[in-house]
């Protein structure tokens, strides 16, 4: 595995490659990231992983400065996952002039977009830069961040970006908590409460299967997510992947939750296909 910081160097080694699988991340890697890399390894000749904690997707009061980092461990995991090139750019490399940014037109007025204004503009900006640098054949994203994934698919369609976007399933701890770099922020007591998020989503799935109206299911989910010392950021349902309102013809529903613990905001979701 080669580690690179410069765009020119990376472009040079990638020139002429027939299939490039790309996994963009913010590092502090875990099995969720590893599953994306594994899929990329299976599908492509070359696997590129990027690690960049992108400042433009963090709000002023968010965790940019304390976002967890562990370069040595990340390199070991990347090597074990069969990564060929690890792209580790600095802010100056990624934002040389910062004259241009990508703006989301629709789909960021709900869920995380509503509570984190500008977040998805930052995400699409950095993803667009990374796609232009790596020019991947396929790029792999987790359904853990389902809204992000839908917006990236929308961006790729709207800008005719020649890349295939691959949706990858959510990887969880044995107790059901979705793996996340931010789980390290949780106190012991919070870590015990956190699997309740997945339990609430599973109950929601059962209720939907039983024909319970969506609004009732959302109310029940909100009620069951009231853990001590936490606040619910949102429990919402939108059509997927349009991110518009659910209506009687909506086939796939994204039921998404965000819970604010003392020092970590955790998200999780359920993709529910009606009549499946
Ligand atoms: P991050 O480093 O948090 O920006 O995540 C990088 C990529 O890994 C994104 O496409 C995430 O959706 C994906 N990812 C993060 N956690 C998980 C997980 N538990 N299961 C599957 N994919 C994940």
User: How many Å lie between the centroid of ligand 1 and the Cα of residue 4?
Assistant: 22
User: How many Å lie between the centroid of ligand 1 and the Cα of residue 67?
Assistant: 14
Segment 88-94 shows an average pLDDT of 98
> Helix or strand or coil: residue 25?
strand
Angle at Cα 174 formed by Cα 168 and Cα 180, nearest 5°? Answer: 50
Residue 276 binned pLDDT confidence (cut-offs 50, 70, 90): confident
- Asked about 226 being catalytic, the answer comes back as no
Residue 99 pLDDT more than 90?
A: yes
Residue 227 binned pLDDT confidence (cut-offs 50, 70, 90): confident
pLDDT, position 238 = 98
Give the rounded percent of residues in the chain with a pLDDT score beyond 90. Answer: 97
Q: How far, in Å, CA of 163 to CA of 215, rounded?
A: 37
Bridge-based pairing of strands 265-273 and 138-142 is unpaired
| Mean pLDDT (the chain, rounded) | 97
User: How many Å lie between the centroid of ligand 1 and the Cα of residue 145?
Assistant: 7
Residue 67 pLDDT more than 90?
A: yes
Pocket test for ligand 1, best of 64, 144, 183, 201 (most atoms within 8 A of CB): 144
What are the residues facing 231 on neighbouring strands? Answer: 260
Centre a 10 Å sphere on the Cβ of residue 50 and count the other Cβ atoms it contains: 25
CA neighbor of 105 nearest in space, from 273, 212, 243: 243
pLDDT, position 228 = 86
Segment 152-176 shows an average pLDDT of 98
Segment 22-43 shows an average pLDDT of 98
Residue 111 pLDDT more than 80?
A: yes
User: How many Å lie between the centroid of ligand 1 and the Cα of residue 248?
Assistant: 31
Which residue's CA is minimally distant from atom 22 of ligand 1?
142
The structure's pTM equals 0.98
Which residues, judged by CB distance below 6 Å to any ligand atom, belong to the binding site of ligand 1? 25-26, 32-33, 35-36, 141-142, 144-145, 168, 170-171, 178-181
pLDDT, position 226 = 86
- Which ligand 1 atom is nearest residue 24's CA? 6
Pocket test for ligand 1, best of 36, 74, 149, 153 (most atoms within 8 A of CB): 36
Segment 108-129 shows an average pLDDT of 97
Segment 11-29 shows an average pLDDT of 97
- Which ligand 1 atom is nearest residue 180's CA? 16
Give the rounded percent of residues in the chain with a pLDDT score beyond 70. Answer: 100
Residue 275 binned pLDDT confidence (cut-offs 50, 70, 90): confident
pLDDT, position 236 = 98
- Give φ, ψ of 9 to 5 degrees: -60, -45
pLDDT, position 83 = 98
Q: How far, in Å, CA of 265 to CA of 62, rounded?
A: 10
């Amino acid at each position: 595995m080669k580690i690179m910081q410069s765009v020119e160097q990376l472009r040079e080694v990638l020139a002429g490659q027939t299939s490039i699988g790309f996994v963009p991340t913010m590092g502090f890697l875990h099995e969720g990231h590893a599953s994306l890399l594994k899929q990329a390894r299976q599908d492509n000749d070359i696997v590129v992983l990027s690690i960049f904690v992108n400042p433009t997707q963090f709000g002023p009061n968010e965790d940019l400065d304390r976002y967890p980092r562990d370069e040595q461990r990340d390199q070991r995991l990347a090597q074990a996952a069969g990564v060929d090139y690890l792209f580790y750019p600095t802010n100056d490399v990624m934002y040389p002039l910062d004259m241009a940014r990508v703006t989301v037109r629709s789909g960021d007025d709900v869920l995380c977009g509503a509570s984190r204004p500008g977040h998805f503009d930052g995400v699409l900006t950095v993803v667009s830069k990374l796609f232009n640098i790596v020019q991947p054949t396929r790029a792999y994203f987790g359904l853990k961040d389902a809204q992000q994934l839908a917006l990236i698919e929308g961006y790729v369609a709207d800008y005719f970006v020649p890349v295939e976007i691959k949706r990858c399933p959510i990887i969880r701890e044995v107790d059901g908590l979705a793996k996340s770099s931010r789980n390290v922020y949780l106190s012991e007591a919070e870590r015990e409460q956190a699997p309740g998020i997945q339990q609430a989503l599973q109950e929601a799935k059962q209720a939907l299967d039983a024909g319970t109206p969506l609004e009732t299911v959302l109310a029940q989910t909100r009620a069951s997510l009231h853990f001590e010392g936490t606040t619910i950021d949102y429990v919402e349902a939108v059509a997927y992947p349009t991110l518009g309102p659910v209506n009687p013809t909506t086939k796939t529903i994204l039921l998404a939750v965000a819970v604010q613990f003392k020092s970590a905001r955790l998200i999780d979701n359920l993709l529910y296909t009606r009549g499946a």
